[in-house]
Amino acid sequence: MHEMSLCEGIRTVIEDQAAKHEIKAIKTVRVEIGRFSGVEKPALEFAFDVVMRGSVAEGAKLIMIDLPGRAMCYDCVAEVEIQDRLDPCPTCGGGKLMPTAGDEMRIKDLEVV
């Protein structure tokens, strides 16, 4: 389950920021997750609760924000939103698309107490 290692990375970032800004507790963690990231949200939520135990984010709420998949169409030169990596261009129907967004995962912000 790679979601556990993702949460360990999130914990590292949170602890670094908490130390830097003298934060005692985190109430909410918002993460942006791209459509093509391969993250299993139920597994991430479970892993988050487990990994955050004993940290400043213990008991924090995890909010997952979906980011759409985007691609550049080489046929019509449009940047378009796509649901699947193999979708045709919704503008021209062309099949030459290069994904440009949707595989990312990042911490958007932290709500502190």
- pLDDT tens for 36-85 read 999 999 999 999 999 999 999 999 999 999 999 999 999 999 999 999 99
**What are the extents of the domains in the chain?**
2-112
Which CATH number among 2.60.40.10, 3.30.2320.80, 3.30.1330.10, 2.30.30.100 corresponds to the domain 2-112? 3.30.2320.80
Distance between CA atoms of residues 73 and 48, nearest Å: 37
Cα 7 to chain center, whole Å?
11
Amino acid identity, residue 41? K
User: Is residue 113 predicted with pLDDT exceeding 90?
Assistant: no
pTM of the predicted model over 0.85: yes
Residue ranges of alpha helices (H) inside the chain are 2-21, 41-51
Place of tokens 């963690």: 29
Residue (of 48, 52, 50) closest to 18 by Cα position: 52
